[in-house]
Amino acid sequence: MSDAVQRRVLVTGTSGLLGRAVAQLLHDRGFFVRTLQRRAVESPWESVQGSVVDPDVTARAVAGMDAVVHLAAKVSFTGAWEDFVTTNIVGTRQLLTAAQHEGLRDFVFVSSPSVAHFGSSIVGAPAGTANPALARGSYARSKAAAEEIALAEDSPEFRVTAIRPHVVWGPGDTQLVERVVERARAGRLPLLDGGRALIDTTYVDNAAEAIVRGLERMDYAHGQALVVTNGEPRPVGELIAGICAAAGVQAPGYSVPGWLARGAGSLIEKAWLAAGSRGWVHDEPPMTRFLAEQLSTAHWFDQRYTQAVLDWTPAVSLDEGLALLAQYYRR
């Protein structure tokens, strides 16, 4: 785009799949990209290493920038509440403060639809309002609080939008795909209620494009929260089977009642915390109440408003994404 060369964007959380994709897309479009992440990574752009809760680090990171795309977060199904507060709430507040002090114009906060998912089914709904008191699990509650803090700062001089990509996955994904594949391979991945719950997901390239469009369309998007998905709701069992087929592992063949998994998830999570997480894959328990609710309740969203505001439609279908995932595993 013609004005992209003049725009300088800080992207946080680029050690993750989506953060890397956003930084790469901005770079490819001619933006000057600087990244902020906890550990050093090889990249074609300028990088600052450190924590978003460190005032000195955030001051260095935003210096000379025009905009921020904030993805850095603690993403986990369980863990100590204080850890989520530190990264997701305190870190967001610190970055907002640094950006405002530096005089930046635009701030894209990458949130999650879980901030407005309160345990019951979501069927073709709009984004909904984030509610820390009702959101399920520490991750969702902390992200809801952070989204409230971010959007409260929106003004004509400092424009803020919240983009909520839903269940992002793709080649190299360690949050969803790797967990599904590892647990399916080990025979520890049951379907809940037969895998019938209808859910939306988002291929990573589509999520990255939508986030960048949020920045490019800030005149229309600021002050709002927008859910982003592929717009192709499918039964969760079908999605899991597609991921397993792409990776060449056997899809789960047994089912557990959702009510039983939700109850068991609560007990397992408490036992995990008491045991200090020793021995679990990814340092996480095999089931939590939040995960059980996500796997056994419908959650898919009306995308018409989001697509109109962002002037965007997904370029990669779910089937095309699964084919790309299969190519990745064959390599």
pLDDT digit string (tens) for 89-131?
Answer: 999 999 999 999 999 999 999 999 999 988 788 889 889 999 9
190 domain residue, yes or no? no
Contact 322, 239 (CB under 8 A): no
Write the single-letter amino acid at 68. V
Q: Residue 59 falls within a domain, yes or no?
A: yes
What's the mean pLDDT when you consider all of the chain?
89
| Whether 329 is catalytic | no
Q: How many domains does the chain have?
A: 1
Q: Is residue 96 part of a domain?
A: yes
**Within 13 Å, how many C-alpha atoms sit on residue 231's CB side?**
16
Question: Has residue 286 been placed in a domain?
Answer: no
Mean pLDDT across 253-259: 75
Helices (H), the chain: 17-28, 55-62, 81-84, 91-102, 138-152, 177-185, 204-216, 218-221, 236-247, 258-275, 289-296, 304-310, 318-330
Say if 246 falls within a structural domain: no
Residue 5 has pLDDT above 80, yes or no: no
167-196 average pLDDT score: 89
* Predicted pLDDT of residue 278: 45
Task: Say if 124 falls within a structural domain.
Answer: yes
DSSP codes joined into one string, 140-199: HHHHHHHHHHHHHT--SSSEEEEEEE-SEE-TT-TTTHHHHHHHHHTT--PEEGGG--EE
Does the structure show a pLDDT above 90 at 288?
no
The pLDDT confidence band at residue 81, using thresholds 50, 70 and 90, is: very high
* Residue 67 DSSP label: E
Q: How far apart are CA 209 and CA 213, in angstroms?
A: 6
What's the rounded Cα separation, in Å, for the pair 89 and 91?
5
The CATH number linked to 73 is 3.40.50.720
| CA separation for the pair 291, 266 (Å, rounded) | 10
Domain that holds residue 46: 4-168+201-229+300-315
- Contact criterion met (CB below 8 Å) for 204 and 21: yes
Euclidean distance between CA atoms 130 and 136, whole angstroms: 11
Residue listed under structure tokens 């990814």: 282
Mean pLDDT check: name the lowest of 68-72, 174-178, 264-268.
264-268
Distance CA 126, CA 131 (A): 15
Q: 105 in a domain, yes or no?
A: yes
| pLDDT given for residue 164 in this prediction | 98
Residue 104 within a domain: yes
- Dihedral angle sign, alpha carbons of residues 183, 184, 190, 193: positive
Q: What is the pLDDT of residues 34-59, one digit of tens each?
A: 999 988 777 889 999 999 999 999 99
Choice among 139, 220, 328, 329 that is catalytic = 139
pLDDT band at residue 253, thresholds of 50, 70 and 90?
confident
